[in-house]
Structure 1
Amino acid sequence: MNLVLFFALAQICYLAPLSDTTSKFTTHLKHSSFSIFPLHPAENFLCQDQKRSHYSAACVTRKKWIVNCREEPHQSNKSSAKSHRKTDTRASQLFRSGSETAGNQTELFSENVQRLHSHQDRVLPNAESSHGSRLNTGARILILHPIYAGSHEVVLRRLGEELVRRGYSVTQLKWKSDHAPIDERRHASSKFNVERAHKWKVTHNLTTPGDQLHEHDEEFRGTSEDCKFMDIITVSPDNEDLRYPYMRRDGALQPPTRLLWHTERSILNVPTDVFGLIDAHCSTLLGDAELISTLNTTGYTVALVDLIANECSLALARLLGLPVVGYWGFPLQGGEARRVGMSQLPSVVPAMMTEAGFRMNFFERVHNFVFSLLDELLVTYHLSVTDHWIKKLHPYLPSSSRLLSEVDTLMVSVSWHVDYAKHLPPHVHYIGCLTCTKEFFLDQEMLDWVEGSGEAGVIVFSFGLTGFSSSVVPESFRDGALRALAQLPQRIVLHFDPAQLQTLPPNVLARTNIPQQDLLAHPATKLFVSHCGMNSVNEAVYHATPLLCVPNFADQGDIARRVLDRGLGLRLAKEDLTQDTLYEMINRVIQDNKFNESVTRTSQMWQSEESGTDAAVRLILSLHRFGPFKHIQPPGTHLNILQYYCLDVIGFILVMAVGILMILSELLCHLYRLANSQRKKGSDKLD
């Protein structure tokens, strides 16, 4: 039956228009349980329309394979100021849709989960016991996102695509959000969603085949059928009664972007109701038996977990028996980083959201010490809420603190060229930028706009994705910025919804979504006005673009302080942004050559190193082959804050010292009294 269906569908795909074919396959997909198998590379269809400048779907076949046309990337090297336009297009991205039903494997895993909770079998699946059976299989990576969407999703998607391109099987588990990222270059193609019990979706996104494998990667390749697609599972909690904050009824996350613009950056201003998201996260992720069974039957070998407020994903990875590669997308300070084994002495490591520098004076160290304790208290409470759900749903799993301390490898998407130096345990690796590439992809309108700027060049103005929405930007901020930009000789690419702007200066091009990395890679870009999130700073510095930081919330003030200390740009408080201040600061950064020299030197050093993507792939595959890495786990991760800083030992020594002093004092007093009594007796005898 499958063979007959294939030939029939192939004939339809060849004869019918693409739009009709897509519609038919969408309808068929919802009512079909047939397994999906990929085309042999020799069977791939060439793009029928080579004239379109961006993406062009060519054919759909075998349940759904879409081969897309894409322009070749432009090559960028700012040191030589060369850019080349590519005129040819090629079939570069493949997409598929559909999923096999779990069947009796689901029932088998459900029985295993029930046994897990029974008193007869309390043995947990673990990475060591399951690793041996998976060692000889191709690498299958499960990427677990935190509950919020934003820039982290962009990074992890890019990494997943690169793993697929190199020939590995990847599944991304992400959360539904009305603030999900849109990547014009990588994700402009059609996607098909398959509803699963109206609770979560699977999007099969076939990307470029693994045609460029490293020599040492060959043994880790999966089969050709497994290594040409990336599954994207979108999860959403049941929030019909609106019991979870910052979420719509359909379970889509709504970041409080308006609150972020009007609240001072401080750990003291973290809203208390945000912990309700932990309930949504853990109950959905650990309480969905169908989701867990589907993941379990896939045979993953490694889990990649974004660690920010994502301990229940660590619990899921432990439940599946997977070794864990942790991902950290901030400067390595505060939060979960301390629980992973990172030494964070308050005297030398700035606490998150303090904006302290590398060398602190006495009062700064006092401030940093107090906020380090507050951060520890906040994380402790957060982990206690997480532990409640772990113990409720899977009572024999370890605590969240232990799960964090047992992460096998931690990769930090930051470069030492930006962050301050720190003492690191052997399982923590700074890998740099995961979204940076010397190639850039610009559509024709954007390319003409950038290359038509002349010697004045281009300024990119963007406030990121996670906490930004054009509709909530204060009017005074927006109008002051536009008036300042209108005075500049440079052309401006503005990340802003044009519908929110009544008029635009002639030198400003506004778009709802911009290809930020690609614009920064172009040699015509002279300055990046940014909120200074970590990804934005990574991309700017990697491409030798000076920065003007206008931090908005969270760690952005800390990163802006690093940019200032490294001489990579200047910082302007959002409260101080007016037409005059913005115009003055932009001109200072552009006209003062020291910023350009500093960022160019840093960029050259950075680009001479191993790329962030290569480092990430190396760490993931190393864990797949040799993990788990228990022998490099740092000692002391099981200690609490009193034990870690030896405060209990200091207290014990002080108590002992005081006790000894009291005993000595009492003994001396006794001897003194005894001596006095002896003297009195002697004097009485004389009398």
Structure 2
Amino acid sequence: MTSSCCRVLALLLSLTLGAALDAAGAPRLLILHPLYAGSHERVLRGLGERLVAEGGYHVTQLRWLSDKTRPVNSSVEVMDLRLAPPPAGSQFFDAAGVYRVPTSLLWRTGGGLGLVAAGALEPLYAHCERLLSDRDLFESLRRRRFDAALVDLSTNECGLVLARALGLPVVGFCGKRFVGAAAHASPAPSLAAVSPTFASGLPPAMNTWQRLQNAAMVLAQQLLLRLHLRRVDAIRERHFPRVPSAERLLGEVDLVLVRTDFLAAEPAHLPPNVQAVGCIQCREARPLSPRFEAFMESAGVDGVVVFSLGMTGYDADTVPQELIEVFISAFSKLKQKVVMQMSTARVPNAPANVLLVDWLPQLDVLGHRQTRLFVSHCGMGGVLEALYHGVPVLCVPIFLDQGENAAFLEYRGLGLTLDRHRLTEPTVTAALRRLLTSDSFRQKAQYLAELRRLDPNSAADRAIYWINMVVRFGRLDHLRMIDAHLSWFQYWLIDVALVLVVITVATITVVWRCCGACLRRSRRQQVDANAVGKM
């Protein structure tokens, strides 16, 4: 009996040691998010799960708890962090240090400078201080011996500081068009004449007035970026003074994965180490639950309209009641069925053709053969998912980059845009009917979906390829622009322009003086000749 127990214990020990050795040899990836990551958290965790399943990776995800955080069951190791104790008197954290997403503030201000004025950036610096000052967390991560970091770049310069302090090569993740702060600090030329900047709400083909607006916003963003990076650097200096400045870290990200492509956003000038991989989370639709499937099929030939305001913009208590009532009234006049992500408490008397749900399997519903139209806030994730499945979009942008996303869809003939501040039942009904009855919108959306299906590699496949490259080889210097030695005025050839101006002025001056000298000599000779003639 004793020998049998010893053999069992020996076998268990052997299996444990073998598993430990396998884990020790597996590639290790650290995912770092900003204070609030929204849907990016799910996207990058899904990517991490594929790396675990297909590449044998060990993936650790650091996420910060918010009032929108949900429990997960994942093969990725998820480390939940909070700001405890929370900053004194802050309205953005509860007593446990959980972040309160300012959804109502986003609805009121539309994001951008309104958020800055309301003090919504202050929690970012509290998060930065907490992340960089936690020596126990740093030592715990250092002992794991990661091979690379996947850093969500959205207001997450302190994540870059931590990754550099750990000595890790960095794959950056940009969940939107590659414009704004991250792009301004990188080698990518974000030209104000052709690329609407972040939160501008401008269309891709801008007139003179719009280009002037865009240029002014780019300059304002540059100023705000400098002020923001100065505060980040003050925190960095206290905890990791040997790590380079935040601006330099942004410019030295080894590779950036941009979650868009040139079917969902205007083509852009991107250096080789910035890869527009596309919709990482997109996939073919899976079977719906019996309840959803029965509702979808009950729509018959008329089909289904899907309504969702996404994750960050949707909160049962903050969506304006006027908006809900206008859409409910418009939906009641349609012969189509409607799946609407909205609390039943806000719509006590829903029309018979409207199904209210608290949660929506968005990819699967958009990919259903009965879906005809998507009513969306036009976050980049929702735009990509709609176009992946060939569904036109009625855009109701709420904040930040959603305005320019909507403008691009309308420019390409993939949807229509409504101003949420001027919604009326007739305008909403007219837009819905136009999108549902005109074949051109659906044909163009399905054309793009067919183009995407012809690509032999999915966006997730491309992202995994580049992550593997960075994990295996570290810095991919052959992809980097050779411009780190240039200052901004050298990058934009202002020094060359000044040299040309000096040369031009000098040449004109010399020619002018030579001509003047020749003219004076000619006059003297004429005077002398006249004098001789009189003699």
Deviation at 1:161, TM superposition (A): 2.0
Q: Unaligned stretches of 5+ in structure 1?
A: 8-35, 41-99, 101-133, 192-204, 208-228
Structure 2 distance, partners of 1:478, 1:233, is 37
Q: Does 1:170 align with 2:17?
A: no
Deviation at 1:467, TM superposition (A): 2.7
1:432 to 278, 302, 318: 278
Given the superposition, is the C-alpha separation of residues 387 and 352 from structure 1 closer, same or farther in structure 2, using an over 3 Å criterion? same
Give the secondary-structure state (helix, strand or coil) at the position aligned to 1:349.
coil
Give the secondary-structure state (helix, strand or coil) at the position aligned to 1:544.
coil
Asked whether the 8 Å contact 1:245–1:273 carries over to 2, the reply is no
Residue 372 of structure 1 corresponds to 218
TM-superposition CA deviations, 1:543-570 (whole Å, max 9, x none): 1111111101100011111111222111
Give the secondary-structure state (helix, strand or coil) at the position aligned to 2:178.
coil
Cα RMSD (Å): 3.2
Deviation at 1:305, TM superposition (A): 0.6
Residue 197 of structure 1 corresponds to none
Deviation at 1:633, TM superposition (A): 1.1
Residue 50 of structure 1 corresponds to none
Q: Does 1:461 align with 2:307?
A: yes
Q: Does 1:627 align with 2:474?
A: yes
Structure 2 distance, partners of 1:630, 1:554, is 33
Structure 1 distance, partners of 2:43, 2:194, is 29
The within-5 A match list for 1:531-570 is 531-570=377-416
Letter in 2 for 1:169: H
Letter in 2 for 1:630: D
TM-score for both structures, normalised by structure 2:
0.88
The within-5 A match list for 1:94-173 is 137-166=25-54, 167-173=56-62
Residue 243 of structure 2 corresponds to 397
Q: Does 1:646 align with 2:514?
A: no
Residue 258 of structure 2 corresponds to 412
Residue 446 of structure 2 corresponds to 600
Structure 2 distance, partners of 1:401, 1:240, is 28
TM-superposition CA deviations, 1:268-297 (whole Å, max 9, x none): 764362331331122111110000111111
Deviation at 1:659, TM superposition (A): 6.2
Given the superposition, is the C-alpha separation of residues 643 and 576 from structure 1 closer, same or farther in structure 2, using an over 3 Å criterion? same
Residue 617 of structure 1 corresponds to 464
Q: Does 1:477 align with 2:365?
A: no
Residue 352 of structure 2 corresponds to 506
Deviation at 1:302, TM superposition (A): 1.4
Structure 2 distance, partners of 1:155, 1:375, is 27
TM-superposition CA deviations, 1:344-378 (whole Å, max 9, x none): 12222222222333333333333322222222222
Given the superposition, is the C-alpha separation of residues 381 and 447 from structure 1 closer, same or farther in structure 2, using an over 3 Å criterion? same
Asked whether the 8 Å contact 1:149–1:177 carries over to 2, the reply is no
Given the superposition, is the C-alpha separation of residues 637 and 477 from structure 1 closer, same or farther in structure 2, using an over 3 Å criterion? farther
Asked whether the 8 Å contact 1:248–1:254 carries over to 2, the reply is yes
Letter in 2 for 1:416: F
Asked whether the 8 Å contact 1:257–1:468 carries over to 2, the reply is yes
Letter in 1 for 2:365: L
Structure 2 distance, partners of 1:259, 1:677, is 81
Give the secondary-structure state (helix, strand or coil) at the position aligned to 1:478.
helix
Give the secondary-structure state (helix, strand or coil) at the position aligned to 2:119.
helix
Residue 636 of structure 1 corresponds to 483
Asked whether the 8 Å contact 1:141–1:170 carries over to 2, the reply is yes
Structure 2 distance, partners of 1:667, 1:381, is 52
Q: Does 1:530 align with 2:418?
A: no
Asked whether the 8 Å contact 1:149–1:466 carries over to 2, the reply is no
Asked whether the 8 Å contact 1:278–1:385 carries over to 2, the reply is no
TM-superposition CA deviations, 1:113-144 (whole Å, max 9, x none): xxxxxxxxxxxxxxxxxxxxx9x932211111
Residue 519 of structure 1 corresponds to 365
Given the superposition, is the C-alpha separation of residues 407 and 653 from structure 1 closer, same or farther in structure 2, using an over 3 Å criterion? same
Letter in 2 for 1:318: R
Given the superposition, is the C-alpha separation of residues 286 and 660 from structure 1 closer, same or farther in structure 2, using an over 3 Å criterion? farther
Given the superposition, is the C-alpha separation of residues 319 and 241 from structure 1 closer, same or farther in structure 2, using an over 3 Å criterion? closer
Asked whether the 8 Å contact 2:282–2:388 carries over to 1, the reply is yes
Given the superposition, is the C-alpha separation of residues 511 and 242 from structure 1 closer, same or farther in structure 2, using an over 3 Å criterion? farther
TM-score for both structures, normalised by structure 1:
0.70
Asked whether the 8 Å contact 1:340–1:637 carries over to 2, the reply is no
Deviation at 1:380, TM superposition (A): 2.1
Letter in 1 for 2:45: R
Deviation at 1:316, TM superposition (A): 0.9
Q: Unaligned stretches of 5+ in structure 2?
A: 9-14
Give the secondary-structure state (helix, strand or coil) at the position aligned to 1:414.
coil
Given the superposition, is the C-alpha separation of residues 409 and 280 from structure 1 closer, same or farther in structure 2, using an over 3 Å criterion? same
Residue 43 of structure 1 corresponds to none
Higher helix share: 2
Deviation at 1:403, TM superposition (A): 1.0
Deviation at 1:684, TM superposition (A): 11
Residue 260 of structure 1 corresponds to 106
Give the secondary-structure state (helix, strand or coil) at the position aligned to 2:340.
strand
Given the superposition, is the C-alpha separation of residues 454 and 37 from structure 1 closer, same or farther in structure 2, using an over 3 Å criterion? farther
2:162 to 316, 328, 333: 316
1:179 to 56, 62, 68: 68
Structure 1 distance, partners of 2:48, 2:95, is 30
TM-superposition CA deviations, 1:455-492 (whole Å, max 9, x none): 22211101111132121122211111111111112221
Give the secondary-structure state (helix, strand or coil) at the position aligned to 1:410.
strand
Residue 336 of structure 1 corresponds to 182
Deviation at 1:442, TM superposition (A): 2.8
Letter in 1 for 2:458: S
Structure 2 distance, partners of 1:646, 1:613, is 38
TM-superposition CA deviations, 1:505-531 (whole Å, max 9, x none): 222121222111111111111110000
* Bigger Cα displacement from structure 2, 396-405 vs 433-442: 433-442
Residue 11 of structure 2 corresponds to none
Give the secondary-structure state (helix, strand or coil) at the position aligned to 1:155.
helix
